[in-house]
Amino acid sequence: MRPFHVFSKGATATLVVLFGIGLALTGTAAAPAGGPGTGFDPEQRFSNGNDWEPHVAADPGSTFVYMVTTGRDAKECLQCPEPSIIYRVSPDSGSHWGPVRFVCGALCRSNNIAGPWQFDPTIAVADDGTVFVAWLDNWNPGPLVARSSDHGQTFSRPVIAGKSGGGWVDKPWLAISSDGKDAYVAFSDGDPSVSASHDGGRTFGRPVQITPPLNKRYWFPEGGVVLPNGDVYFSLSIESTFGTGPVDLAVIRSTDRGATWTTQIIDSSEEAKLCEGSCGIDHYQAQIVVDVDSAGTLMVAYMKNTRPGDPKSFFSRTSTDGVTWSAPRPINDIADSNFPVITNGPTPGDFRVAWQDDRNGPIAWNTFYKRTTNYGRSWSKEVRLSDLGSGAPYKTAAGYVFPYGDYFGIAADSKGTNYVIWGEGFGRALGGGSWFTRGS
């Protein structure tokens, strides 16, 4: 829930409902036949509700895929949280999707164990199929984590993964080890902190603050990964408390299971173009994401510009030791690139990225995808994933009015199939929806 200067990133305090409270709570949805010549299915809508900031994860050992989002007009009961975190499950690699469900609706009713609203979910799946979901629960208690061991049919009672000392918490980001025993949640209350669990997410230790108190900058987690050797990395953007000025793009690293952390500034960007109207001034500030391939090589992907207000270009860098990084390699320099996401493929050097840009005009945004198989030395031709010119009032043949939310999700399964889910809408507090596709 990044302060919007007032609440600019994450959750907002005022909710505008445009599509009603009804959700597709029963039945399944089959994927369309496919977008001609793209390798991806035509985009589909997650639900008929007002959903934003979605995420996705693929089970490494099976054909199950999971999508999660913030249902801004969703609640399971009268006293249940609204917004609530909702999800869908595909048992067959995205060919069919089950109904919309609540991660913690009635179980988290506001007079019981949680606050009156939920935001900012991230999701991950361990090798044994255990599903982890982290989300922002009110400002107190803060980030929560729930687990499922039955492919999302039920989720455990959530546990507190970190408490705020500053009255608000934002952007909880989840990273888990492949065996699911170690789980980490990075979050911000201005100063960044990371909580660690070493019992499979059942309990979390005291959060470790990464910076000295009152560092006078906001640190926002935007990606996280646990390496096979147990080292943990989170990527964060660092901006002023006013949401203006230059942005540092950083990676924090722990080699002792989250006890201590080191910080490395990977690059920096000048101030982005201002976001006016229904969104905070820093909505388009630069972001950075991180992942690791099957050989243990890290890649960061991030946006930056060199003059305040200029469009941002998209770059990648790699590292085999988490300390020394390659020179920046360009991914996209068309229009203003925003909201990077990254995942790794099944072979060394294989990374996939997606982003949103406004090459078709200021109210004609689109979501694009590229892939590299050689650590970013070259990238494939981009694919436009937002390929439908209708289906919602904010969509035209040129694109959608606004990139709805501060992040979205991409995942790849063991066969290399990609799953991407993102937000489209009218404006930050003006309503929209989550849209998804799969392909290779």
Tell me whether residue 129 is exposed, middle or buried, using C-beta atoms within 10 angstroms of its C-beta: 0 to 12, 13 to 18, 19 or more.
middle
**pLDDT greater at residue 4 or residue 90:** 90
Q: Is the pTM of this model over 0.85?
A: yes
Residue 190: predicted pLDDT:
73
CA distances (Å), 94 to each of 57, 73, 284, in order? 11, 25, 31
Say yes or no to pLDDT of 10 above 90: no
CA-based nearest residue to 53, from 405, 315, 296 = 405
* Mean of pLDDT values over 164-172: 74
Say yes or no to pLDDT of 349 above 90: yes
pLDDT band at 36 (very low <50, low <70, confident <90, very high): very low
* Mean of pLDDT values over 92-97: 97
Say yes or no to pLDDT of 262 above 90: yes
Residue 28: predicted pLDDT:
44
Residue 270: predicted pLDDT:
96
CA 21, chain centre distance (Å): 24
**pLDDT greater at residue 203 or residue 170:** 203
d(CA 350, CA 376): 9
Say yes or no to pLDDT of 15 above 60: no
Say yes or no to pLDDT of 165 above 80: no
Residue 112: predicted pLDDT:
57
Residue 169: predicted pLDDT:
82
Residue 166: predicted pLDDT:
58
Residue 330: predicted pLDDT:
98
* Mean of pLDDT values over 104-131: 87
Say yes or no to pLDDT of 26 above 80: no
Please provide the DSSP assignment of 209-246 as one string: ESS-S--SEEEEEEEEEE-TTS-EEEEEEEEETTS-S-
What average pLDDT does the structure give for the chain?
89
**pLDDT greater at residue 279 or residue 52:** 52
d(CA 366, CA 331): 16
pLDDT band at 115 (very low <50, low <70, confident <90, very high): low
Q: pLDDT for 273-287, tens place per residue?
A: 988 766 778 889 999
Residue 41: predicted pLDDT:
96
**pLDDT greater at residue 327 or residue 111:** 327
d(CA 124, CA 66): 9
Say yes or no to pLDDT of 313 above 60: yes
**pLDDT > 90: percent of the chain:** 76
> Domain map of the chain by residue range?
29-439
pLDDT band at 255 (very low <50, low <70, confident <90, very high): very high
d(CA 51, CA 43): 15
Query: Tokens 């008929």, residue?
Result: 48
pLDDT band at 164 (very low <50, low <70, confident <90, very high): low
Backbone angles phi, psi at 293, to 5 degrees: -90, 180
Q: pLDDT for 134-159, tens place per residue?
A: 999 887 778 999 999 999 999 999 99
CA-based nearest residue to 317, from 326, 308, 307, 305 = 326
Domain 29-439 adopts which CATH fold? Neuraminidase (2.120.10)
Q: pLDDT for 214-249, tens place per residue?
A: 677 889 999 999 999 999 999 999 998 888 889 999
